[in-house]
A and B are shown apart, each in its own frame.
Chain A
Amino acid sequence: QVQLVESGGGVVQPGTSLRLSCAASGFIFTDYVVHWVRQAPGKGPEWVAVMSPNGDIKFYTDSVRGRFTISRDNSKSTLYLEMNNLRTEDTALYFCARDPILDRPDYFDYWGQGTLVTVSS
């Protein structure tokens, strides 16, 4: 079955960096578009970033562009999110999610359980 397992979250100070990972299994990772989606405490989900199957296409939401970098290692079936210059408003549960449409961003059919990032001084 499809599984997405995030890791790397933690408590960090504003201005610092963190790298999240998402290990995928149960499907051919190299075939799929994958996303990062976050959810601040008590709020709804917010789309963050997306990457194409071969990594040549990436898009970001405005609030993280220039600070966050999405990447993937298809040989390890793993998605990453490098987060730099973190702000208190980046505090959230970060999910990776698979997109069932193979050639363009469309929606999310499977989500991981999330990893919590807390940015606080």
Chain B
Amino acid sequence: VMTQTPLSLSVTPGQAASISCKSSESLLQSGGRTCLYWYLQKPGQSPQLLIYEVSRRFSGVPDRFSGSGSGTDFTLKISRVEAEDVGVYYCMQGLHLPFTFGPGTKVDIE
């Protein structure tokens, strides 16, 4: 089971934001990879990959996005929120099928 906090977040542009994701089991794979991913679903769009394997930014993702954590506890940080960052952020475990998502954190701009 994946949980996220907070479920909603209102941020002033330029401020930092942080989202927590917790898994009910360790997401550390036997080969040493940790199978935790972050997606952003902007309004009216399909989800897009932001972060893979806890902390690796996907191609084209701005460096204001960063991921950290290990085992069961993970965090997504946005160093300086911009208007284009609004949407719902989901963490997902890819350790085993069925892949499962957290409930989502809705981020909007104050």
Residues of A within 8 A of B (CB): 44-47, 50, 59, 61-62, 95, 105-114
| Among B35, B49, B97, B99, contact of A109 (Cβ-Cβ < 8 Å) | B49
| Among B49, B52, B90, B97, contact of A45 (Cβ-Cβ < 8 Å) | B90
Q: How many residues of B are counted as interface, with CB atoms below 8 angstroms from the partner's CB atoms? A: 23
- Report how far A50 CA is from B45 CA in the complex, Å: 22
B46 near A107: Cβ-Cβ < 8 Å:
no
Residues of B within 8 A of A (CB): 35, 37, 39, 41, 45-49, 52, 58, 88, 90, 92, 94, 97-104
B52 near A44: Cβ-Cβ < 8 Å:
no
Q: Given A44-B102, A44-B103, A114-B46, A107 and B97 touching (CB < 8 A)?
A: no
| Among A46, A61, A111, A114, contact of B48 (Cβ-Cβ < 8 Å) | A111
B103 near A106: Cβ-Cβ < 8 Å:
no
Given contacts A45-B41, A107-B99, A110-B49, 4 further A-B contacts (CB under 8 A): A44-B101, A46-B101, A107-B94, A111-B47
A107 near B52: Cβ-Cβ < 8 Å:
yes
**How far, in Å, is B30 (CB) from chain A's closest CB?**
12
Chain B residues within an 8 Å CB radius of A110: 49
- Report how far A95 CA is from B49 CA in the complex, Å: 14
A59 near B46: Cβ-Cβ < 8 Å:
no
Chain B residues within an 8 Å CB radius of A62: 98
Q: Given A95-B46, A114-B46, A109 and B100 touching (CB < 8 A)?
A: no
**How far, in Å, is B18 (CB) from chain A's closest CB?**
20
**Which 7 A-B pairs have CB atoms at the shortest separation, nearest pair first?**
A107-B94, A111-B46, A47-B99, A61-B98, A107-B37, A44-B101, A47-B98
A109 near B58: Cβ-Cβ < 8 Å:
yes
**How far, in Å, is B108 (CB) from chain A's closest CB?**
16
Which residue of the partner chain B has the closest CB to A93?
Answer: B46
B97 near A50: Cβ-Cβ < 8 Å:
yes
- Report how far A109 CA is from B88 CA in the complex, Å: 17
